[in-house]
Each structure stands twice: as structure tokens, then as C-alpha cells.
Amino acid sequence: MACDERTLLLERCANTMHAYTKASIKWQDLTSKANTPEYRDSLRVRVQARLEVDLANYELEQHERAHQCFQATATLN
């Protein structure tokens, strides 16, 4: 079943995961500068981005459960 809202939720999941990946890379680059304000800021941004990923995934799962609109799966022969 095609569902426009599901498509938007999938896009949100992808966007939040992209933001989390970027934040994680920046945080990892700053690990040698632990306990600096820049490091702590990057950690805060990374944690917030992870929360956004989790929320987006939760909203997608709830939508799919409520509307029964799952991606079609391919079957192997």
C-alpha cells in the first residue's frame, strides 16, 4: 500500500541518520581534545542527533503499525 505520510517519515529517518553520522564523525575527530568546550558541544550535538534518529524511527514504526503500510518485500525463489 502506497502511503505519502510513510514516505515523509522515511525521508525524516534518512535525514536524521545523516545528521547523526555527521555529528559522530565530528565528535570522533575531537576525541583527542576531550574536555574542551568544542568536544563537549560536539558530544551534545551527537547525543541530540541520536535522540532525533530514535524518535524518527519510533514515529515510522508507529505509523506503519497503525496504518499497516509496510514496504513490499521481495521473495527469493
Q: Is residue 20 part of a domain?
A: yes
Would you say residue 9 lies in a domain?
A: yes
- Answer yes or no: are the C-beta atoms of 44 and 29 closer than 8 Å: no
Tens of pLDDT, residue by residue over 17-49, are 999 999 999 999 999 998 899 999 999 999 999
Which pLDDT belongs to residue 2?
A: 65
- Listed in sequence order, the residues at least 6 apart from 25 whose beta carbon sits closer than 8 Å to its beta carbon are none
Confidence (pTM): 0.83
Over the chain, what is the mean pLDDT?
Answer: 90
Which domain covers residue 62, as residue numbers?
4-67
Does residue 73 sit within a domain?
no
Helix%, strand%, coil% for the chain, nearest 5: 80, 0, 20
Domain for residue 12, yes or no?
yes
Mean pLDDT of 48-63: 97
Total tally of structural domains belonging to the chain: 1
Q: What is the percentage of the chain residues whose pLDDT exceeds 70? A: 88
